[in-house]
Structure 1
Amino acid sequence: MIPLEVPVDTAAGLAAAHAGGAARIELCAALSEGGLTPSAGLMAEAARLPIPVHAMIRPRAGLFRFDAAEAEIMAADIRAARAAGLEGVVIGAQDASGGLDVPLLGRLAAEAGPLSLTLHRVIDVVPDPLAALDAAIALGFSRLLSSGGAATAWDGRERLAALVSRAAGRIIVMAGAGVGPDHARRLVAETGVTELHASCSGPAPAAAPLGLAPPGLRQTSEARVRALVAALGQETRSPDASR
């Protein structure tokens, strides 16, 4: 079976992803901005779930070159994830040349201690993704998330296959971005990835007045999670299994 990780940024999203049969949660704030560090309160709520939860550690939107103050924030947020009882963290950072910031990532990995480490889609914007994969393995990462450097994982399937080949079982390659039930099995077959990542989201209710919610806001859909899990051939939970 191919595990499905679902990114969520609300308590309602946690419930929908779990009820739909997600194998793991990527816990974020502000998915509309690509996912930022969740609050301590949301981490505590997520830790109640009986499935693994990995917290995104990203202090702001934009690319991944972080200054000293941001590095301190990230270290503190990792300690908060550990204190909440989460299973892992999702991190990434670039140096001045655009490659992985290995010293910073080593420091953050040390802060994480026993937590599982996922390298996020920073690997899609570094100049040499295969070298970044090797560096992630040396740092002790368990998995990496990639779209193959393309807008969608399907479009990036050739690079995803190259990452899987280079990984040679030393690290999990998880495909994400635009993954849906219509092509999930083909994506797995053509790339060899062993995990998938998908938001399984649908349009949220109309935006709030006074600019209090961004246009195009989306929310996790239990039905979409369930459909993708079914497409992957996993056993789905009953609708009331989370109660």
Structure 2
Amino acid sequence: MKANRLLEVCVDTIKGARIAAENGADRIELCAALSEGGLTPSSGMMSAASGLSVPVYAMIRPRSGDFRYSDVEKELMLKDIRAAEQNGMKGVVIGSVTDADRLDTAFLKPALQGTALNATLHRAFDTLSDFKTAIDDAVSVGFERVLTSGHQNTADEGCTVIREAVRYATGRISIMAGSGVTPANAARILKETGVEELHASCSMRQCALPASREVQLGFASATGQKLTDARLVRALRQAVDVR
């Protein structure tokens, strides 16, 4: 019998990290600002999450927007990798691309060679036109996995490319499907793509009070905050385990 499929849950609060770990996540992607696609979490947050019962990988992304980074930003990313090491992370989630729409191997390879941490290539992969070249580059750099939605907005829509990526990468690097993964579509994504790892936020939106001072002063969104939901983690865990 095959080993259990893996469920990774991305979170941007320490409470969310604990909920994910306690309700079936195999691994946590720790971020700040998931509303911006995920940014580097603080050293304090990394330290707090390091004692959880499952491996925690820290997002290394210095800003929102594209993945073409300046030399100053790359230096910051290297410092953040060191912070992840010092604060007990088991891995990092990182990506960088060139103006030629290739993976930035000149930066990423020495960055990963300079750390003992494992590494996931995040969805910067989905911005690259040639997924086979991107997989080859990811292997050469030293990534252990690629997170992808199959070049579409959601993994459900990108099943065809994800399946092709799995076939092309087999034996060299793991392909993890993510973006829009829910208990309702997880089984279909797993079956149609052949991936053994799924990535999801397992979050629900908590409505804000429009009249609250936090909303009025711009500290909170009027549409509310998305928070990790224990029921969704458990439901997705169950969906992932069904074969």
- TM-score using structure 2 length: 0.93
Q: Distance in 2 between matches of 1:103 and 1:214?
A: 39
**Corresponding letter in the other structure for 1:75:** L
Larger mean Cα displacement after TM superposition, 56-65 or 177-186: 177-186
Give, in angstroms, the shift of residue 98 of structure 1: 1.6
Once the two structures are superposed, residues 185-240 of structure 1 have per-residue CA deviations (whole angstroms, 9 ceiling, x without a partner) of 11111101110000000012406321102344201111110110011227xxxxxx
**How do residues 26-41 of structure 1 correspond to structure 2 at under 5 angstroms?**
26-41=29-44
Q: Distance in 1 between matches of 2:15 and 2:146?
A: 26
Q: Which has the higher contact order (CA 8 A, sep 6+)?
A: 1
- TM-score using structure 1 length: 0.93
Does residue 231 (structure 1) correspond to residue 234 (structure 2)? The answer is: no
**Which of 122, 131, 134 is matched with 1:120 structurally?**
122
**Corresponding letter in the other structure for 1:191:** T
List gaps (5 residues or longer) in structure 2: none
Q: 1:238 maps to which residue?
A: none
Q: Distance in 2 between matches of 1:161 and 1:232?
A: 17
Q: Distance in 2 between matches of 1:90 and 1:232?
A: 22
Q: 1:241 maps to which residue?
A: none
Does residue 8 (structure 1) correspond to residue 16 (structure 2)? The answer is: no
Rate the CA distance shift 1:93–1:215 in 2: closer, same or farther, 3 A.
Answer: farther
Q: 2:111 maps to which residue?
A: 108
Does residue 188 (structure 1) correspond to residue 196 (structure 2)? The answer is: no
Give, in angstroms, the shift of residue 86 of structure 1: 0.8
List gaps (5 residues or longer) in structure 1: 235-243
RMSD, aligned CA: 1.1
Q: Secondary structure at the match of 2:64?
A: coil
**Corresponding letter in the other structure for 2:70:** D
Give, in angstroms, the shift of residue 182 of structure 1: 1.3
Once the two structures are superposed, residues 15-49 of structure 1 have per-residue CA deviations (whole angstroms, 9 ceiling, x without a partner) of 11112110000000000000000000000001010
The ranges of structure 1 where at least 4 consecutive aligned residues each deviate by more than 4 angstroms after the TM superposition are none
Indicate the percent of aligned positions where both proteins have the same amino acid.
Answer: 48
Q: 2:98 maps to which residue?
A: 95
Give, in angstroms, the shift of residue 169 of structure 1: 2.1
Q: Distance in 2 between matches of 1:16 and 1:215?
A: 24
Q: Distance in 2 between matches of 1:2 and 1:181?
A: 14
Q: Distance in 2 between matches of 1:224 and 1:182?
A: 10
**Corresponding letter in the other structure for 1:172:** S
Give, in angstroms, the shift of residue 50 of structure 1: 1.5
Q: Retained in 1: the 8 A contact 2:5–2:240? A: yes
Q: 1:162 maps to which residue?
A: 164
Q: Distance in 1 between matches of 2:201 and 2:64?
A: 18
**How do residues 40-51 of structure 1 correspond to structure 2 at under 5 angstroms?**
40-51=43-54
Q: 1:69 maps to which residue?
A: 72
Once the two structures are superposed, residues 79-138 of structure 1 have per-residue CA deviations (whole angstroms, 9 ceiling, x without a partner) of 000011110000100111121111011122123x22111000011001211101111111
Does residue 222 (structure 1) correspond to residue 230 (structure 2)? The answer is: yes
Q: 1:239 maps to which residue?
A: none
**Corresponding letter in the other structure for 1:35:** G
Q: Distance in 2 between matches of 1:198 and 1:228?
A: 9
Q: How many residues matched?
A: 233
Q: 1:172 maps to which residue?
A: 174
Q: Distance in 1 between matches of 2:31 and 2:145?
A: 18
Rate the CA distance shift 1:61–1:215 in 2: closer, same or farther, 3 A.
Answer: farther
Give, in angstroms, the shift of residue 176 of structure 1: 0.2
